[in-house]
Structure 1
Amino acid sequence: MSDTATRPEGRRVDRTSAPQQGSWTTARIVKLVAILAAVVVLLVLPLYVEEFWLRTGFAVFAAIIGALGLNLLVGTTGQLSLAHAFFLAVGAVTYTYVSGTSGGTANAYGGLEWPPLVGMVLGVLVSGLAGIIFSPIAARLRGIYLGIASLGLVFIGQHVLNTWTSVTGGFNGRLVPAFSLFGFSFGGTDSPELVIAGVPFGQTERLWYLGLALCVVACWFANNLVRSRPGRALQTLRDSEVAASVMGVDVRSYKARAFLVSSMYAGMAGVLYALSIGSVAPDSFGLALSVQFLAMIVLGGLGSVTGAILGATFVSSAPLVLQQYAGSLPFIVDPGQPGIVASQAAAFLYGGAIVLVVMFEPGGLAGLARRLRPTTRAPGAAIAADGADSSQHSTPAPADPSTGGDNR
């Protein structure tokens, strides 16, 4: 068969020069190299940075996983949810209770003392179950009504955390047990000694690699999900439920699946969040936490995996960095002193950034990065564009006999 084909208009197009789907273009190669370079840098970073940056990085990894889950629900599917803090609380409390042991004031009621890996898995699954239970309500509501209904879960969660003392620890909360995997502990005083390149790997270094591994897996799954057929169905659902239904998309089923995946992401983020702060208390999972996650995805860019990563990194690290350098920054004071503390300054910072993003760059930080990135036209696209331009000056196509000679 010839490598060329004749179009009805008489033009001949070379198929060998057209870009093939899934081909390794220069842009894809550059993106892959950049991702691999970033992973390598993150792998060797614990050998050179201080403990503060490792703790901050672990908190950022937890925030990225939670932001990815919320972005799949709000940005990709178009379902407004203010209940993300509730699902984080479910994951954190489940892990703490299942893997917790009795001892001390915070853990006076004890726990199941199951392996931490089992506690982490159950934390993710129980959070997903909570999302499935709420999904029938989500299937009947849209927009602000869904947001208000989901807000009720946060208030219910606060009440349960304060009153179910035997599981949650009540107002004082519970201490979070250290995570361990097949006998290798990621924290605590009983951790086996580990030295790499002359650097002792303690709790912070080990938690860094745990968070990095889980974050990479979460990003990979979210990216593949968005690009898959279910991901395109979710995007169609976001644009128009009627159009999605006409195209054969089961609207209620896909809404339920979106809540399932989002809540499971939140459950994993809740486990890492608990390991990061060291305790689980009701005040840690209030409405402010849900608002912070909404700020992450709006600032980073709705519907973008890269945007969720950028937004979560900025919003979660800003208060920690400002608090660390409060004495060196103007207008920022240490807690307990009159003035603006680091948490308030961070809220002003990313609050103002959100206003600017909404006004001037609705695509968020990811959209800004795409705009600043130099665009290159693929060879196939150039040939197609040249063919389209030349068709405007080509001779008219022969008349179609079925239309009586009128080719309009």
Structure 2
Amino acid sequence: MAAVRRPRTYAWLLGSVLLLALPFYLDRFWLQAGLFAMAAAIGAIGINLLTGATGQLSMGHAFFLAVGAYGYCVLAGENSVESGHRLTGLGLPSWLAAVLAVLIAGLAGGLFSPIAGRLRGAYLGIATLALIFIGQHVLFNARDLTGGFNGRTVPTLSVFGFDFDDTEVVVAAVPFESAEKLWYAGLVALAAGALFARGVLRGRPGRAMNAIRDHRIAAGVMGVPVARYRAAVFVLSSMYAGLAGVLLALVFQRTVPEYFGMILSLEYLAMIAIGGLGTVAGAVVGAAFVSLLPRFLDRYSDALPLISAPGTGGVSPGEASRYLYGAAVVAVVLFLPGGLTRLITPVTPGEKK
């Protein structure tokens, strides 16, 4: 066992050093792509706790990302006028606004948790799908808060006087702007979220969640408070989504209601199905695959067959990526039920294949 763990430890150390060094070598396009992947990974960890580990199907994950993103904008923004609309902002310190936005996303999940604690399967999926329609209606019509169709500008994150903006900070002869600065903030958020989720899954709560997923009635007989656990995991998943929404908003620098729709929720389900259900590594791997694929296709569309630039009449990078998501999900379900992480993680005795 020690021989197996040692190469894995070395791989984690090498990967960590590589991630820390990437801002010194990558251009802004790939740094932003990496930040999108980090935000996606945080959100995917949350939905994997809910769907992969506890067996609760959620189609409304994008709603809680929107709560986090717009909550941050309202809390940290100032009263202003954009595109002819007067926007409301509380002007709180941006670091405090980010924390409160995550808590508000958890509160939104808490308000829905009584329903989540009592429904399961397709019924819960349909109920959470309603959140998407409600959220889209609010985002497009609550213009004082959201800016309506045009969205609103995202305030710059500032932590104790250090601004994550485009003001250059030269480090080892490399100019650090917003993308480089946010890279390390994203790494910290992803590492904290991954370690916390790993501790939950490996501890007593994780065993209870898996018992609820595998056999709900038996879990209740063994003394597991099924409804309470389901509600709590839904709140936790919503907070992960809120954190992902805050990071996405900071990377986009402008929130747009159309982004937080049903397609985004489906992409998160594809992430955990492709990467591997019920594991932190599966969420991260699946998020990297799903979030980076369209940007890779967009960057190299001129050199790839059957793919053309958007608006030219051919298959756009976004459409091609969705076709590949679908093909990947089918391939994983048929040939690799454990997800892509099964390729690098050996099956231990007594573990489900």
Shorter-chain TM-score tier? over 0.9
Separation in 1, partners of 2:173, 2:256: 38
Tell me whether 1:45 sits opposite 2:22 in the alignment: yes
Separation in 1, partners of 2:173, 2:288: 30
Alignment partner, residue 341 of structure 1: 316
Alignment partner, residue 150 of structure 1: 128
Offset of 1:26 from its aligned partner? 2.3
**Which 4+ residue blocks in structure 1 deviate beyond 4 angstroms?**
none
Q: Which has the larger radius of gyration?
A: 1
Alignment partner, residue 36 of structure 1: 13
Alignment partner, residue 125 of structure 1: 103
Separation in 2, partners of 1:237, 1:276: 37
State, as a whole percentage, how many aligned pairs show the same letter. Answer: 51
Alignment partner, residue 281 of structure 1: 256
Alignment partner, residue 300 of structure 1: 275
Alignment partner of 1:362: what SS? coil
Alignment partner, residue 224 of structure 2: 249
| Letter paired with 1:93 | Y
Separation in 2, partners of 1:353, 1:180: 39
Match of 2:292 among 314, 317, 321: 317
Separation in 2, partners of 1:254, 1:337: 50
Separation in 1, partners of 2:96, 2:345: 41
Correspondence list, 1:165-314, <5 A: 165-188=143-166, 191=167, 193-314=168-289
Separation in 1, partners of 2:35, 2:79: 27
Offset of 1:108 from its aligned partner? 3.1
Alignment partner of 2:213: what SS? helix
Offset of 1:163 from its aligned partner? 1.5
| Letter paired with 1:180 | S
Alignment partner of 1:108: what SS? strand
| Letter paired with 2:46 | G
Q: TM-score, length-normalised on structure 2?
A: 0.95
Deviation sequence 1:31-76 (CA, Å, 0-9, x none): 2221121111100111111111111101100000000000000000
Separation in 1, partners of 2:297, 2:257: 25
Tell me whether 1:366 sits opposite 2:344 in the alignment: no
Alignment partner of 1:326: what SS? coil
Q: Is the 8 A contact 2:81 2:87 kept in 1?
A: no
Q: Is the 8 A contact 2:117 2:229 kept in 1?
A: no
Q: Is the 8 A contact 2:179 2:251 kept in 1?
A: no
Tell me whether 1:135 sits opposite 2:113 in the alignment: yes
Alignment partner, residue 57 of structure 2: 80
- Structure 1, 207-216 or 288-297: larger mean CA deviation: 207-216
Alignment partner of 1:370: what SS? coil
Separation in 2, partners of 1:322, 1:119: 35
| Structural RMSD (CA) | 1.6
| Letter paired with 2:17 | V
Offset of 1:28 from its aligned partner? 2.2
Separation in 2, partners of 1:158, 1:334: 28
Separation in 1, partners of 2:296, 2:35: 14
Separation in 2, partners of 1:240, 1:272: 36
Offset of 1:255 from its aligned partner? 0.6
Q: TM-score, length-normalised on structure 1?
A: 0.83
Offset of 1:218 from its aligned partner? 0.9
Tell me whether 1:99 sits opposite 2:108 in the alignment: no
| Letter paired with 2:149 | F
Offset of 1:228 from its aligned partner? 0.6
Q: Is the 8 A contact 2:274 2:328 kept in 1?
A: yes
| Letter paired with 2:95 | L
Separation in 2, partners of 1:231, 1:316: 27
Offset of 1:247 from its aligned partner? 1.0
Separation in 1, partners of 2:93, 2:228: 34
| Letter paired with 1:239 | D
Alignment partner, residue 45 of structure 2: 68
Offset of 1:104 from its aligned partner? 4.6
| Higher relative contact order (CA closer than 8 Å, sequence separation 6+) | 2
| Letter paired with 2:34 | G
Separation in 2, partners of 1:33, 1:248: 40
Alignment gaps of 5+ in structure 1: 1-23, 378-408
Alignment gaps of 5+ in structure 2: none
Offset of 1:317 from its aligned partner? 0.6
Offset of 1:303 from its aligned partner? 0.6
| Letter paired with 1:29 | R
Separation in 2, partners of 1:55, 1:90: 22
Deviation sequence 1:325-354 (CA, Å, 0-9, x none): 111211111111010111001111121111
